[in-house]
A and B are shown apart, each in its own frame.
Chain A
Amino acid sequence: MSAKTETISVANHRTKIVHGFIYAFLIILAVIYLLPLAWVIITSLKDDAVLMISPWELPARPMWENYSFAWTMGHLGTATLNSFIVCTITLLFSMIFGAMAAFAIAKMRWKLSKLVLTYFMIGMMIPVHTVLIPLFVQFSSLKLSNTLIGIIIPYITFSLPITIYIMTGFFEGIPGELFESACIDGCSIFRMFTTVGVPLAKTGFMVTGLMSFVANWNELLLAMVFISKEAKKTLPVSLTKFVGPYHTNYCQMFAAIVIAVIPTIIVYCVFANQIVEGLTAGAVKG
Chain B
Amino acid sequence: MDKLLRNKKAIILFIAPAFILFTLVLLIPICKAVYYSFCNYKTLHPIKFIGVDNYVKLFTKDRAMRAALKNSIFFMVFSIVTQFIMGLFLAALLTNIRRGRNLFKNIYYLPCVLSSAALGLLWMFIFTPKLGINQMMASFGWIADCTEGPQWLFNTEGFIILPIIVISFVALWQYVGQSMMLYMAQISGISSDIYEAAAIDGCTKTQVFFKITLPLIRPMIATAMSLNAIGSLKFFDLVYNMIPEGFLGDKAHVLATHMYTQAFKFNKLGYGSAIGVVLLIMCLIVTLLINKFVKVEAYD
Task: Give the CA-CA distance A181 to B264 in the complex, in Å.
Answer: 57
User: Cβ of B200 < 8 Å from any Cβ of A?
Assistant: no
User: Cβ of A214 < 8 Å from any Cβ of B?
Assistant: yes
> Residues on A close to B: CB < 8 A?
19, 22-23, 25-26, 29-30, 32-34, 36-37, 40, 51-52, 55-56, 96-98, 100-101, 103-105, 107-110, 116, 119-120, 123, 125-138, 153-154, 156-157, 160, 164, 179-180, 183, 188-190, 192-193, 214, 217-218, 220-221, 225, 235-236, 239-240, 242-245, 250, 253-254, 256-257, 260-261, 264-265, 267-268, 272-273, 275-276, 279-280, 283-284, 286
Q: Using Cβ atoms and an 8 Å threshold, which residues of chain A touch B240?
A: 220, 240, 243
Q: Using Cβ atoms and an 8 Å threshold, which residues of chain A touch B237?
A: 218, 220-221, 236
A206 to chain B, nearest CB (A): 15
Decide if B223 touches A286 in the complex (CB within 8 Å). yes
Decide if B18 touches A22 in the complex (CB within 8 Å). no
Q: Using Cβ atoms and an 8 Å threshold, which residues of chain B touch A30?
A: 104, 107-108
User: Cβ of B162 < 8 Å from any Cβ of A?
Assistant: no
**Which of B54-62, B112-120, B207-215 contacts the other chain?**
B112-120
Decide if B2 touches A109 in the complex (CB within 8 Å). yes
Task: Give the CA-CA distance A133 to B260 in the complex, in Å.
Answer: 9
Decide if A129 touches B276 in the complex (CB within 8 Å). yes
Decide if A284 touches B26 in the complex (CB within 8 Å). no
User: Cβ of B263 < 8 Å from any Cβ of A?
Assistant: yes
Interchain residue pairs A-B with the least CB separation, the first 7: A280-B185, A104-B14, A134-B32, A134-B29, A131-B29, A157-B25, A236-B117
> Residues on B close to A: CB < 8 A?
1-2, 4-8, 10-11, 13-15, 17-19, 21-22, 25-26, 28-30, 32-33, 36, 90, 93-94, 96-97, 100, 102, 104-111, 113-119, 121-126, 130-132, 135-136, 139, 173, 178, 181-182, 184-186, 189, 219-220, 223-224, 227, 230, 233-234, 236-237, 240-241, 244-245, 247, 255-256, 259-260, 263-264, 269, 272-273, 275-277, 279-280, 283-284, 287
User: Which residue in B10, B14, B110, B220 is a CB contact (below 8 Å) of A268?
Assistant: B110
Decide if B230 touches A125 in the complex (CB within 8 Å). yes
Decide if B132 touches A55 in the complex (CB within 8 Å). yes
Decide if B220 touches A283 in the complex (CB within 8 Å). yes
Q: Using Cβ atoms and an 8 Å threshold, which residues of chain A touch B118?
A: 236, 239, 256-257, 260-261
Decide if A133 touches B121 in the complex (CB within 8 Å). no
Decide if B117 touches A220 in the complex (CB within 8 Å). yes
Decide if B14 touches A100 in the complex (CB within 8 Å). yes
Q: Is the interface of B mostly helix, strand, loop or mixed?
A: helix
B21 to chain A, nearest CB (A): 5
Task: Give the CA-CA distance A135 to B260 in the complex, in Å.
Answer: 14
User: Which residue in A37, A56, A154, A225 is a CB contact (below 8 Å) of B264?
Assistant: A225
Q: Using Cβ atoms and an 8 Å threshold, which residues of chain B touch A56?
A: 136, 139
Task: Give the CA-CA distance A239 to B240 in the complex, in Å.
Answer: 12
User: Which residue in B4, B260, B275 is a CB contact (below 8 Å) of A221?
Assistant: B260
Decide if B241 touches A243 in the complex (CB within 8 Å). yes
Task: Give the CA-CA distance A127 to B8 in the complex, in Å.
Answer: 33
A135 to chain B, nearest CB (A): 5
**Residue on B with the closest CB to A110?**
B11
B235 to chain A, nearest CB (A): 10
Task: Give the CA-CA distance A130 to B275 in the complex, in Å.
Answer: 8
Task: Give the CA-CA distance A103 to B21 in the complex, in Å.
Answer: 17
Task: Give the CA-CA distance A164 to B18 in the complex, in Å.
Answer: 9
Q: Give 24 A-B contacts (CB < 8 Å), ordered by A residue.
A: A30-B107, A36-B122, A36-B123, A40-B122, A100-B14, A104-B15, A110-B8, A110-B11, A127-B230, A130-B33, A134-B32, A190-B10, A221-B236, A221-B237, A235-B115, A236-B115, A240-B241, A243-B241, A245-B244, A257-B119, A272-B109, A276-B105, A279-B178, A283-B223
Q: A127-B279, A133-B273 are in contact. Are A284 and B220 (CB under 8 A)?
A: yes
Decide if A156 touches B8 in the complex (CB within 8 Å). no
Decide if B29 touches A272 in the complex (CB within 8 Å). no
Task: Give the CA-CA distance A260 to B117 in the complex, in Å.
Answer: 9
Q: Using Cβ atoms and an 8 Å threshold, which residues of chain A touch B132?
A: 55
B268 to chain A, nearest CB (A): 10
User: Which residue in A52, A257, A276 is a CB contact (below 8 Å) of B121?
Assistant: A257
